[in-house]
Copies of this chain bind each other. A is one copy, B any other.
Amino acid sequence: MNLATKIVETNIRCGECPIRHRAVCAYCEAPDLVKLDAIKSYRTYKAGETITWAGERNDMIGSVVSGVASLSRTLPDGRRQMVGLLLPSDFVGRPGRDNSPYDVVAAHEVVMCQFRKKEFENLVKSTPALEHRLLDMTLDELDSAREWMLLLGRKTAREKIASLLAIIARRNAVLERKDVVDGLQFAVPLTREAMADYLGLTIETVSRQISALKKEGIIDLIDSRHVRVPDFAILLDEAGDDSDGGMPY
């Protein structure tokens, strides 16, 4: 059984959490699940609300149930770089660390399932399988971060936009249990500013490149937040690589 299968199966079994709650659900099978259930709680954050400030002590750990959040770092003079995009099923938190150097901000209304870190870590101590799962998820995140380094360091603006759209399309399809088919329409749950911060560009360049892709018929813009892709192969080609592999986001 490969990993993807495992996630889906375990998600299906997790009755209480709405959907795709990887960090937890992957261990629905674990004997200590009952304890995990006992210490979890849900919390909703409004769009734009900061979930965690960089440097601030943070004693929650959890995962995204619905909505979109971003993880970002800021230079003293205000330049910002998003370093992670948190979509439903993504784990949030740093087991074993007291604070985070990242701002976590809700890009859309976000529902998080949270645990008090202390209790979660106690549970981890007594559940080796849970730690194994955390390691596996962290390795996925590391792969994503490195894929993103390639994008930031070496791709053109056009390729960056195409890559981002491809990633969002793929993630959306997984969440809705559809295939990524030609003609699929999906929401881009980010403002132009958030896209710029993610891609290491300015909002003007983001806007111009999206316009260009539209003019060339590579994407249809339903409105500024909804895209339809007539032919995914072409979009992937514009992304500059065949990186279908390995990316959880």
Contacts and interface: CB of A to CB of B under 8 A. Distances in A.
A95 interface: yes
A100 B246 CA distance: 10
Interface stretch (A76-84, A112-120, A168-176, A216-224): A76-84
Contacts of A102: 146
A75 B143 contact: no
A13 B220 CA distance: 62
Interface in A170-217: 199-200
A145 B149 contact: yes
Nearest to A76: B241
A135 B131 contact: yes
Interface residues of A, number: 44
Given A73-B150, A76-B242, A138-B138, 5 more contacts: A79-B154, A95-B139, A135-B135, A142-B142, A142-B145
A83 B154 CA distance: 11
A200 B141 CA distance: 21
Given A135-B96, A135-B135, A245-B101, A75 B154 contact: yes
Contacts of A145: 142, 145-146, 149
Given A101-B246, A134-B135, A154 B80 contact: yes
A94 interface: yes
A80 B199 CA distance: 18
A61 to B, nearest CB: 12
